[in-house]
Structure 1
Amino acid sequence: MQLAIEQPRHHAEVFEVTRAAFGGDDEAHLVERLRADGLVRLSLVAVEDDEVVGHVLFTDLAVTVDGRALRALCLAPVSVRPDYQNSGVGSMLIREGLRQSALAGFEAVVVLGHPAYYPRFGFSAKLAEKLVAPFSGDAFMAIELVDGALQGEAGTVVYPEAFGIVEGH
C-alpha cells in the first residue's frame, strides 16, 4: 500500500470510496465543495493495486485564540473503502496527514469525530473546550502541531460555507 498526494485522476475514485465509507453522498459532495472553494491544503490517498482504498482531507479552518489567528486545519473526512476498514488504512492516512501538516507549518488541527478513535492520534476534547464553534462535547477535538498553539483564554472556530453549517446553531 502506498500513500500519495491526491491527483485529479483520483477524484472519481475518492468520491466512490467516500460514498461507500459513509453509506451516502453527503461527505463525497463535501469533498467536492471544499476542492471547488480552494480550501484543500492536504489531500492524501491510500492506493493498493492501482486502486484508491482510502482518503483523508485537511482544509483551511478559521481558528482564533485570544484574538490571534492560527494556521489551522480541519480534518474531514477520512474515508476507507469498506473492505479495507479496520486494517489500519485510516490510521496511516491520519498520521501521515498530521506529519505533513506540521512540516508545512500549520499550528493546529480540529476534528469532529468519534471520541474513542481520534485521541490515539493526540486529539483532545479538552484542548477544544475553549473554542466557540457550532460543535462541542467529546466528539469536538483539537490537536496542537505546535506546542502551545491553542493556549489562551478563549477562541473561535468558523467553518467554511462548504460545510453547510449555520453559525449559531
Structure 2
Amino acid sequence: MYIRRETSSDRDAVYSLLGAAFADQAAPGEPAYEIELTRQLFASDDYLPTLSLVAVAGEEIVGFVIGTRGWVGHVEAVGLGPLAVTPGNQRSGVGSALMHAVIGACDALDVPLIALLGSTEYYPRFGFVTSTDAGIESPEAEWGAHFQVRTLTAHRADQTGKFSYAAPFGIA
C-alpha cells in the first residue's frame, strides 16, 4: 500500500469507497451523506488538493482523506474529513497511514492546526485533543469532546477562538 495525492480521475472510486465505508450510517436506500459532502468539498474554493490523499493497494483505492480550509477567527487552519477506508481494509493500518501522511503534509505546509469531528477513542492516538483544551471553540457546542484539534509546529498559543469549517459543511 502507498499514499498519494487524490486526482480527479480517482473521484468515482472515492465516492464508491465512501458509500461502502459509511453504508451503515446511511438511511435505508439512501447514499451516504459523506458522498455528497465530498462532491461539494471538491467543488469548493476551500478544497486543498495537496491535502486530499488516497491509499492505494495494488490498483485499488482502499482509503481516502480530505482536508479543506477552515479558520480559527482569521487564522487559516484545516478541517479534516471525511476519512474513510474500505470495509475489507479497516483495522489494517490504512486509516493510520492516511492520518500520519495528512498530519505530516499539514505540518510541512505550516498549517497551525487541524480540526475534526470524530471518535474520542481513535483520534487521540494522533495527538488530537478536545478542542477546548487548545482554546478552540467548537462550531456546535453539542459536539463536545468529539470536536478535536491537533496543533502543529506553526501553531501559536494566541491562535484561539471559534473554528469555522468550509461552506459545504453548512456550519458557520
Instruction: Please give the range of the TM-score, normalised by the shorter of the 2 chains.
Output: 0.7 to 0.9
In 1, Cα distance between equivalents of 2:112 and 2:166: 18
Identity over aligned residues, as a percent?
32
In 1, Cα distance between equivalents of 2:153 and 2:71: 16
| Structure 1 stretches of 4+ moved >6 Å | none
What is the CA-CA distance between 1:11 and the residue it aligns to?
0.5
Q: 1:153 to 1:48 in 2, by over 3 A?
A: closer
In 1, Cα distance between equivalents of 2:55 and 2:151: 25
What is the CA-CA distance between 1:153 and the residue it aligns to?
8.6
Does residue 134 of the first structure (1) align with residue 154 of the second (2)?
no
Contact 1:111–1:140 (8 Å) recurs in 2 = yes
Who is 2:16 aligned against? 16
Output the TM-score relative to the length of structure 2.
0.86
Who is 1:46 aligned against? 55
Output the TM-score relative to the length of structure 1.
0.88
Runs (5+) with no aligned partner, structure 2 = 27-31
In 2, Cα distance between equivalents of 1:160 and 1:62: 8
Q: 1:146 to 1:133 in 2, by over 3 A?
A: same
Q: 1:11 to 1:144 in 2, by over 3 A?
A: same
Does residue 101 of the first structure (1) align with residue 106 of the second (2)?
yes
Runs (5+) with no aligned partner, structure 1 = none
Query: Per residue, is there more helix in 1 or in 2?
Result: 2
Who is 1:63 aligned against? 72
Aligned residues: 161
Contact 2:107–2:152 (8 Å) recurs in 1 = yes
Who is 2:152 aligned against? 145
Aligned Cα root-mean-square deviation (Å):
1.7
Q: 1:139 to 1:4 in 2, by over 3 A?
A: same
What is the CA-CA distance between 1:59 and the residue it aligns to?
0.6
Q: 1:148 to 1:159 in 2, by over 3 A?
A: closer
Does residue 160 of the first structure (1) align with residue 169 of the second (2)?
no
What is the CA-CA distance between 1:37 and the residue it aligns to?
1.0
